[in-house]
């Protein structure tokens, strides 16, 4: 029996929800510059599948890696951690 690798999980903020059953999630990381030592913000965007269309802009969500659903979607929304105010 094969063992399956763990799926990656990310936490980010929804920045776009205008598509049908899709959201764009931005993950912001603080990385230290290798030479100058200053912390720099790096943003990575993921297109995630949202089956119920219940995410709004500003929500903090958890997404999980999955099989490719379309050309750009290979993540799915697992849960809404915090709703936008």
What pLDDT does residue 81 have?
97
> What are the average pLDDT values for consecutive 10-residue runs of the chain, which has 85 residues?
88 97 97 97 97 95 97 96 93
Of 73, 57, 53, whose CA–CA distance to 65 is shortest? 73
Task: Quote the Cα angle for 69-66-18, to 5°.
Answer: 50
Instruction: Quote the CA–CA distance of 59 and 20 in Å, as a whole number.
Output: 17
pTM of the model: 0.87
Domains and CATH numbers, the chain: 9-82 (2.40.50.140)
Give the C-alpha distances (Å, rounded to integers) separating 62 from 25, 30, 77. Answer: 9, 18, 6
User: Sign of the CA dihedral 76, 82, 83, 85?
Assistant: negative
What pLDDT does residue 27 have?
97
């Amino acid at each position: 029996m094969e063992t399956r690798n763990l799926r990656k999980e990310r936490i980010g903020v929804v920045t776009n929800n205008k598509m049908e059953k899709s959201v764009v999630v931005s993950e912001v990381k603080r990385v230290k510059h290798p030479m100058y030592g200053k912390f720099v913000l790096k943003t990575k965007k993921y297109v995630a599948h949202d089956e119920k269309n219940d995410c709004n802009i500003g929500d903090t969500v958890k997404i999980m890696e999955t099989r490719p659903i379309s050309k750009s979607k290979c993540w799915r929304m697992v849960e809404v951690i915090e709703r936008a105010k």
